[in-house]
Every structure is written in structure tokens, then in C-alpha cells.
Amino acid sequence: MSLSHLFKPKTPATQLISSNASHKKLTRGLMSALLVIVAAGCSNNDADAINSSTDIVSDSQKASAPSVTTADSDQAVVQALQANLSASGIEENIVSAVPTEMEDIYWVTAEGLPSFFTDKSGKHIIQGQIVAIGSDEPVDISAQLVARKAKDALKAVDKKDMIIYPAKGETKSVIYSFTDADCPYCTQLHKEMDEINALGIEVRYLAWPRSEASVPKMQAIWCSEDRSAAMDQAKGGANVQAPSCNDPVIEQMALGARLGVRGTPAIFTESGQQVGGYLPAEQLAQAVGIIQ
């Protein structure tokens, strides 16, 4: 069996950073740039916008993936990593370091950054996939951890802070879509909203403007009295205006960054799996398991 579907091209800077291998001090900005380079890399890249999905994990992979929670975090690794980052001039808040099935390799959650791997000494940051082999199928050992993180984070978002298009009739599936009013693929997805809803899919929009110029427009949508109408107008090309309010746009952008969003639309299921990228309505229904 080919492993090519489990590996994606990676920018060298994102693969391995040694805390004691460089004489230069990394600033927080550089650290964020290194870890978010994949997440922020497709604002003007149409191919990435279509294909900004992670691999859908098969049932056998889910069964084989490690079952751990942040309660399993190794505080010694957290402290070691925090100390090594500080020694390199990087100020980041490490939340947890959870052991994986790979000996002495830990899955790290940090505030405001995508998750990454580290070793037991906390001296290295490793970003990318680690694939376990030797069983019936190769297994991306981070897949379940990534999905669980996304599931919990998305579930914690208050519904009043989202723009929701409910399913017509029975709700068969719920998806979260990080969206941008100026994204052509988001607009295409929105044009199919009636069909998506008719298939039994509830769509919950979160804000993820891909450029600084799009932020005010997204804030205006979220500050509108009728957010759904404002979203419809914006997707149709209108310049939506509204008085400023205590909107969640910046907070949702940060959430997207933590979940590894790198383009819009970025679609997640309730279970935390990222399934797209823009998908036509029927393909979306297939991706979430409604139709075969």
C-alpha cells in the first residue's frame, strides 16, 4: 500500500526547529510564522483553497489511534519545553504535552498556535505527520488528537456567535465552516446553501477573513441586526455596513489558527474532522456520511 496519501509537502522551516541548534533568538512573531505558515498560506492560492482539507481518517485508523486527553499531559515535558522556548527568546504559553504511541514523542497544545510534536526533553519542535506502520493500515498518530481538539473547541463556541443556516427537515449532520465574505469558493458554497440544507446539513459559519482588508466587512456582518441577511448580501457582492459591536471575529480567527485553518472555506464536522475545502453539495453530503 502506498503511503503517499498520508504525506503532504511541507515547507522546510515547519518541519524541525531545534531550541539549541541556532545562535539566533526566535521572536514570538517568527515562532508564530513558522508554526502557522501552513495555516496562513493560501489567502491567494486557488488550488489550496479547494484542497485545504486534511485526510479523512478511516474507521480502522480511528480505532488504532491513541486515546488520550489533556488530562494525560506530562507537566515535566511542558516545563522543559517552556524553559527551552524561553531560553531561545520565545514567549509562548504551553497548555499541554500529551504522550503519543511513539516513544518519547508528545503532542503539544499552545495558546494561539497550531498543535505540534516535541520530544521528552522539550528541545525540539516537530510539525507535520508521524505515521505508524506495521499494522493492517498506516496510521497518522496525531489524527485523533487533532480531531478531538477541534471537536472540543468548536463545541465550546456559543451558537449566538455563529451564523447558522439550519437543515430543512431532519438535521442529519452539522458542519462548521470558517468563511470569508471575499472568498470565491466560500461564495460558491453559499450559493448551494439551499441544496446543502435540503440534504439535512446544518451549516454554522465562523469568521475567518483571509486578509486585513476583509476584517471590517466580516465584523459588519456579525454586527448586523440580521446576520444571515447580511451574510447573504455580502456573498452576493454587497458592501455590508453596520455600527461596530462586540463582535467575535478576531476571536474566531484565533480559533481557526489554533485548529490549523489555512484557507477558506475550512469545513469541520461535529466530530472534529476537517473534510474540506469547497465541496459541491452532494460531495459534501458524502464527506459527512449522509449519502454514499
Asked if residue 123 has pLDDT above 90, the reply is yes
Q: What pLDDT is stored for residue 133 in this prediction?
A: 87
What is the value of pTM for the model shown? Answer: 0.69
Distance separating alpha carbons of residues 276 and 177, to the nearest angstrom: 9
Phi, psi of 218 (to 5 degrees): -65, -40
Q: Could you confirm whether 245 is annotated as catalytic?
A: no
The residue assigned the cell 524561553 is: 86
pLDDT tens digits for 20-71? 444 333 444 445 544 543 332 334 343 343 333 333 233 333 333 334 445 6
Asked if residue 72 has pLDDT above 80, the reply is yes
Q: Which residues contact 220 (CB under 8 A, 6 or more apart)?
A: 230, 240, 241, 242
Asked if residue 287 has pLDDT above 70, the reply is yes
DSSP 176-202: EEEE-TT-HHHHHHHHTHHHHHHTTEE
Q: Which of 42, 140, 182, 186 is catalytic?
A: 186
- Cross-strand pairs, 99: 106
Q: Sign of the C-alpha dihedral, residues 192, 193, 194, 199?
A: positive
Q: Name which residue leads in pLDDT, 192 or 276.
A: 192
pLDDT tens digits for 177-206? 999 999 999 999 999 999 999 999 999 999
Q: Could you confirm whether 210 is annotated as catalytic?
A: yes
Q: Could you confirm whether 180 is annotated as catalytic?
A: yes
- Cβ-based neighbour number of residue 16 at 10 Å: 14
Q: What pLDDT is stored for residue 83 in this prediction?
A: 94
Q: What percent of the chain has pLDDT over 90?
A: 54
With CA atoms as reference, report the closest residue to 193 among 154, 163, 157.
163
Asked if residue 289 has pLDDT above 70, the reply is yes
Mean pLDDT, range 224-239, rounded to an integer:
95
Q: Which of 180, 182, 204, 247 is catalytic?
A: 180
Distance separating alpha carbons of residues 25 and 9, to the nearest angstrom: 27
On average, the pLDDT of the chain sits at 80
Categorize the per-residue pLDDT at 137 as very low, low, confident or very high, splitting at 50, 70 and 90. confident
Q: What pLDDT is stored for residue 50 in this prediction?
A: 35
Phi, psi of 163 (to 5 degrees): -105, 115
- Domains of the chain by range and CATH? 4-46+57-141 (no CATH), 157-287 (3.40.30.10)
- What is the amino acid identity at position 108? V
Q: What pLDDT is stored for residue 148 in this prediction?
A: 85
Count of helix runs (H) and strand runs (E) in the chain: 12, 12
Q: Which of 42, 140, 183, 204 is catalytic?
A: 183
Q: Could you confirm whether 223 is annotated as catalytic?
A: no
Q: Name which residue leads in pLDDT, 172 or 102.
A: 172
Q: Which of 42, 182, 204, 210 is catalytic?
A: 210
Among 14-18, 45-49, 119-123, the range of highest mean pLDDT: 119-123
The burial class, CB within 10 Å (0-12 / 13-18 / 19+), for 212 is exposed
Asked if residue 147 has pLDDT above 70, the reply is yes
